[in-house]
Amino acid sequence: MNTPAPSECPLPRDRYTNREISWLDFNARVLASAEDPRTPLLERVKFLAIFASNLDEFYMVRVAGLKRRQSMGLLARSADGLTAAEQLAVINEKAQGLVHRHIACFTDDVLPALRAEGIDIISHAQLSDPEKERMDAYFRQKVFPVLTPLAVDPAHPFPYISGRSLNLAVVIREPGSKLERFARVKIPPNVDRFVGLGGDRFLPLESLIEANLDGLFPGMEVVAHHPFRVTRNADLDVEEDRDEDLLQALERELARRRFGPAVRLEVTDTMDQKTLDLLTREIDIDPGDVLVVPGLLDLSSLWAIFAVDRPDLKDDPYVPGSPARLAKGDSFFDVLRGGDVLLHHPYDSFATTTQKFIEQAAADPHVLAIKQTLYRTSGDSPIVQALISAAEAGKQVVVLGEIKARFDEEANISWARALERAGCHVVYGIVGLKTHCKTALVVRQEGGSLRRYCHIGTGNYNPKTARLYEDLGLLTADPDVGADLTDLFNVLTGYSRQQQYRKLLVAPHGVRSGLIERIEREAEHARSGREAHIIIKSNHIVDEASIDALYRASQDGVRVDLVIRTNCSVRPGVPGLSENIRVRSIVGRFLEHSRVAYFRNAGEPEIFIGSADLMHRNLDRRVEVLVRVDDQYAKTRITRMIRRLMDDDIIGWDLQPDGTWINSADRSDGVMVDAQVEQIQRIGTGA
């Protein structure tokens, strides 16, 4: 009997880790950056704020989705075999532990360190008498007029509590009476959460309101007051097949979002059980979805503290430049006719590269058309303004505006309408799909022919996030890429159903199959004794088909290196399954956001960059684009970058076979290197 090759044997059922727990592990790595005393102090404050914002979004989307499945009685299990109810139980337990770590880091470590540097957050009771008088006057003038205490009694039903709002549960009674009544006071979101006391000292707004509750309930006795906060389901469910006008459907669904069901209730550990019972009952939330916080609620507002002007407590400032070929000031079109240009943000300036490319195209009299996809951008984006200028100058401007980009829907509707008013052709996505690709096509008249210039990237056309997110972009005049983008825009704006391209892999039809085909090719190289190596850098990898292909390649001897920032369902280093797979996560000053797929291909490397993560939503329900990078200099730069991230002296988190993550800096006796700092230094020296 012939013994089957390892890659032909059935794969074990427990080969995936849980996606939701993997995400919580990622946020724990963010929290670890706040806990790390080697991180500059105000950067630690920033990471505390990011952790809180991340957890908010996780509950608003991922937990909300699980609760919806549970309420609908859906029996589908996660890839690791857990039901929705089982996942929710594990999530709540793990999240509670992280929340306690989070507040302990702030209260016991970061806050005393800030205080030592003259930056302080204090309660109203800690103010001096003159400060109390000044702050109470501020309350009467700036805060009291916008407060609306809402009573709860037979004539006043329990008020609606909006998502992510900070509130006070106030218990009052008439003097001499034992009958207690409940009232809710919303902390106004349009007043600074941290009120400046002068210098770098701050008073939480809720503390100021608590100290002045007598003014809200004159003649009544304030028995108790407790902050609380509700998180609601914020995932949209637009019925595209039913609605003829996608824009109107989305606007209607946005109006519903604020009334989504509650998925989390945050309370302080000082809240009494009677008040807590009332809140859980009236908000209609399960006691298991209550997170008890032993300190301040909503630390996402710590961005106000991070904004303190203390550069000595932050990362050294970095001013990005431009690639040498673009820094000379020549026309981008002249430069690109001489070869491709690889961009690496934020090390390369977005304003002087990608943005300038669109601005030059808008101003160039020989440019006939600009076609661009926009997923997330700022309302005052210079790129939007450039496209408006191009349309007003008579150029054909086509914009695929993805108005369904989560949490940016309202902003996207606003700029999309501004583009329409200027005469741009705006297409609001494809029914059933989100358009997530990052592409721009410029058509230019040159002599008696037309030439196409292109940009394809891994990040959004957003000048603000481009300073914070690590991303790659390719500027090219390659005729094949230009022809591919022309075909793609015909798909996006018309009725073309093209699925095959020259140098692009395009989801939902071609990314998964294209990558798996190349993974299997590496396995064949390994079986034949040829060079075989796969490196994938992605935000997430949870797609089972892609993971299984990597497992089988590992079994055939392919070295597989994965740089995964957030969700990872791979179990690396498992005997008989994934001995040749390593997984690393980089958490640093910039958000690692670029997506790269490298295949050694028997000594003839093939490299793709683009917008797609290895997730079901990206591969099946989005329009995504990966472009093959053929320019040799660009390939060398990308290869050096992604290989360096896996080196033992680079600070990162290494995933273990049992699903735990270990910080490489904590287990090494040698000198460890921050890859992002090294990249800044390399660009600074021109290396």
What are the CA-CA distances from residue 5 to residues 371, 423, 553, 683 (Å)?
49, 61, 11, 46
What are the CA-CA distances from residue 31 to residues 46, 50, 503, 588 (Å)?
10, 9, 40, 11
| Contact yes or no for 284/262 (Cβ under 8 A) | yes
Q: Is 345 a catalytic residue?
A: no
* Beta-strand runs (E) in 52-210: 119-121, 150-152, 166-173, 181-186, 194-198, 200-204
What is the Cα–Cα distance from 409 to 424, expressed in whole angstroms?
A: 19
Can you spell out the DSSP letters for 42-91? HHHHHHHHHHHHHHHHHIIIIIHHHHHHHHTT--PPPTTS--HHHHHHHH
Tokens of 321: 């430049």
What are the CA-CA distances from residue 376 to residues 455, 464, 683 (Å)?
16, 10, 28
What is the Cα–Cα distance from 598 to 219, expressed in whole angstroms?
A: 72
DSSP secondary structure letter of residue 344: E
Asked if omega into 37 is within 30° of 0 (cis), the reply is: no
Tell me the residue type at 677.
V
DSSP secondary structure letter of residue 685: H
**Residue 49 burial (CB count, 10 A):** 21
What is the Cα–Cα distance from 60 to 24, expressed in whole angstroms?
A: 14
**Residue 86 burial (CB count, 10 A):** 16
SS3 call for 525: helix
Residue bearing tokens 């210098």: 199
Q: Determine the angle formed by the axes of helices 41-58 and 19-35, rounding to 10 degrees.
A: 160
Residue bearing tokens 């001013």: 319
Paired residues of 536 in beta bridges: 562, 597
Under 8 Å CB-to-CB from 337, ≥6 apart: which residues?
A: 451, 477
Tokens of 115: 């205080």
Under 8 Å CB-to-CB from 118, ≥6 apart: which residues?
A: 199, 200
Looking only at the bridges linking them, the beta strands covering 533-538 and 595-599 are antiparallel
What is the Cα–Cα distance from 411 to 394, expressed in whole angstroms?
A: 26
Among candidate residues 436, 533, 540, 593, the one labeled active-site is 436
Contacts made by residues 5-12, CB under 8 angstroms, sequence distance 24+: 5/527, 5/555, 5/556, 6/555, 6/556, 6/576, 7/523, 7/552, 7/553, 7/555, 7/556, 9/555, 11/548, 11/551, 11/552, 11/577, 12/577
Paired residues of 186 in beta bridges: 167
Report the alpha-carbon angle 676-338-631, nearest 5: 50
Catalytic residues: 436
